[in-house]
Structure 1
Amino acid sequence: MRETTEAIIGAVTGSLTAPRGPLLGRYDDHGRLQYTGRTTTLTRTASATVAGQLASAQHGHPWTGWSFSAGWGSQEKLNVTLVEPELVVEVGVDVARDAAGRWRHPARLHRARPDLSPADVPRLTSPPH
């Protein structure tokens, strides 16, 4: 089962000018941006649209020093570029989540939502057990 929701882009694979896959986040109840998952590989059109709205991360990005796995159970780490966590996107996600509340499967990017601010994005909540 899938749902449509919003998330914040905190990093990308690829470059700022040609992002391949956004890494998504949501703020938790303590105001910390937490990683919630990543998208499938972007189409060329989606990549160009997102690229025009990303800004290079400034000092003090909440994910500085973090590493991200290339896949479920993989030891390989992704090479990511941190971006200012300002761009909200609408994504389609599988409702399956892990114990930390992250989406277990890649999200599908529907569209950028420059009309929304990160404060408009639902907070990260742990799934019910």
Structure 2
Amino acid sequence: MDSDAMGMCPHIICWGHAGTGKTLLVVSRQYTWPGDNGPAEPVVFDKGNDTSLVNQFGPNVLSHLVSGYIQFRVLNGEGDAYALCPGIKVRQTSWNNEHNCLGSTGYNIADKYCGDFAAWSYNGYGTHTEWSISKQLIESSFFIFYK
């Protein structure tokens, strides 16, 4: 795909993966779930820890997550691709990643669940019930530093 085509399409995110020298394209409905999920790298927290972060995700997704990582280009079962999952990697059986990953390419089975935070408020804004994340997490900022 040439750079002109990429610049015109709102459903493509370019994500450079540090350490590999490769660029991962995040394109909606172009990959096979779960085999095309991107790499997961361990993280070091300056404040807090992996357990305190993962406990902010909705109770229904906890069994699908492994804390202490950042994962790039993660897919959901509908074919949407997400730029990253902060503080977690998803298990190979995780189908509903719109509830725990950031940077949606815009495709989802229900239009109201697309966008950067997709279905983080699926059962209400900040309710921290079922599929919804906590208010603390949804109102947080994410800073990613790498060397």
TM norm structure 2: 0.25
Which structure has more strand as a fraction of its residues?
1
